[in-house]
Amino acid sequence: MLKTCSTLAALATVAVLAAPASAQAPGASWTQVGMLDCRVDPSIGFIIAGHQSMQCRFSQNAPIPPQTYQGAINTVGINIGVSAGGRLAWGVFAPTTGVPAGALAGEYVGASADAAIGVGVGANVLIGGSNRTVALQPLSLEGSVALNVTLGVSALKLRYVN
């Protein structure tokens, strides 16, 4: 079981890292405007689908108060195991600086991979947002305490909390 999980984790990481360069970086005119930090709730994988709720905080590079979002990431693919929760963090890119309140609300789609036996790591390639005008840095790092393996297509939905 341990060898199988390790092999799946390695394959999942390679698959996400091998994504085309166009999916990994926003266009040259995009600017990193801040960071999105999410606390992921505990979850259970259901073999072909998974759901993780989260609370997020967007901090801009400018001296503007942080924005709060609620979110959920749904994955279709291999999703086996249990997670005690964790953290996800992305760099946030936009065509202009000074992102208005609520601009990150919307749906993001892409590929996800993570593996954990105790402490784990993961990567998420996600593009989307309000009218597709906001991009999350394609490779997010996930820190979790879990016994799971995930590889699939993910959809992240963010809702602005005023």
Q: How far is residue 146's CA from residue 105's CA, in Å, rounded to a whole number?
A: 28
Q: How far is residue 1's CA from residue 81's CA, in Å, rounded to a whole number?
A: 12
Query: In sequence order, which residues have a C-beta less than 8 Å from that of residue 45 and are 6 or more positions away?
Result: 79, 80, 81, 82, 83, 148, 149, 150
The tens place of each residue's pLDDT in the chain, 162 residues long, gives 334 344 334 434 444 444 433 344 455 678 889 999 988 888 776 677 778 899 999 999 888 899 999 999 888 887 777 777 778 888 888 887 778 889 899 998 887 777 666 666 666 767 777 666 777 875 555 556 666 677 788 888 999 998
Query: In sequence order, which residues have a C-beta less than 8 Å from that of residue 84 and are 6 or more positions away?
Result: 42, 144, 145, 146
Six-digit token string for 72: 């959920």
